[in-house]
Amino acid sequence: MNNLTVIKIGGNVIDNPDALTRFLTAFASLPGDTILIHGGGKIATQVAEKLGVQTTMVDGRRITDQAMLDVVTMVYGGLVNKQIVAKLQALDSNAIGLTGADANIILAEKRPVKEVDYGFVGDIVAVDSGRLQSFMRQELTPVIAPLTHDEMGNMLNTNADTMASAIAVDLSHHNAVTLVYCFEKKGVLSDPADDDSAIRELTPALYAEYKAAGVISKGMIPKLDNAFNALQNGVERVIICHADELAMAVQEGAGTTLRLATNQQES
């Protein structure tokens, strides 16, 4: 099977030009096929403020009304996406910037209103992995913004971690996929105040223990839920690491590696 690395970059790296350049330099040098999914929420909030658009968050998730949808479409699909593509071109990586609407690669549906009305937020329905593979066969590197569409002419704001997991799972049917989540921490930390306390290996059982103890909480929980879902549905390996340690992490020398069982349990 073909080796493929699907990488999501987010956190404070996107809005730090030096950190982003270091990350993209490492990304461009990775062997084999690669796909990059990016965030950009901090920049969207800054642009919204300049435009007089109010930002509302519930449990760390953005409420996307029509005005905010216009902002995130401009920022994610335009400003951030094209800046990343341009930087990759300068690194001899022939990147192509995409949203879920481009070539119909990611179809979603508007999240139903329950306790909270998240507005124009999309839950993924389907990924066209064949179309993504056709780009890679043309030696193009897909760079995907966290936007999808509903096939009725509407763009939808979609969680980048979830997009990375869904893309990795769909492509795992024909590829040996490694999924990497990069941000400004050195992995999943056993002590949130100590950046050198990265947990080297995490299984579902350990994850449950850390959650019960309050060691893992807040925004890390949905990220890990997406990661374990990917492992349970065909992705070979999931890594969470610092953006500066991408190359080492892919070689299993840094960050937190997620497994469905420990090596002893596997044997």
**Which residues are registered as beta bridge partners of 4?**
33, 177
As to burial, measured by CB atoms within 10 angstroms (0-12 exposed, 13-18 middle, 19+ buried), residue 42 is: middle
Query: How far from 89 is each of 74, 92, 128, 214, CA to CA, in Å?
Result: 21, 5, 25, 43
Q: What is the DSSP string of 55-67?
A: P-EETTEE-B-HH
Binding residue numbers: 40-41, 62, 157
How many CB atoms within 10 Å of residue 88? 21
Query: What's the rounded Cα separation, in Å, for the pair 160 and 164?
Result: 6
Residue type for position 84: I
**Which residues line the annotated binding site for substrate?**
40-41, 62, 157
Q: Tell me how crowded residue 152 is: count the other CB atoms within 10 A of its CB.
A: 7
Give residue 136's identity as a one-letter amino acid code: M
The pair of structure tokens assigned to 185 is 């921490």
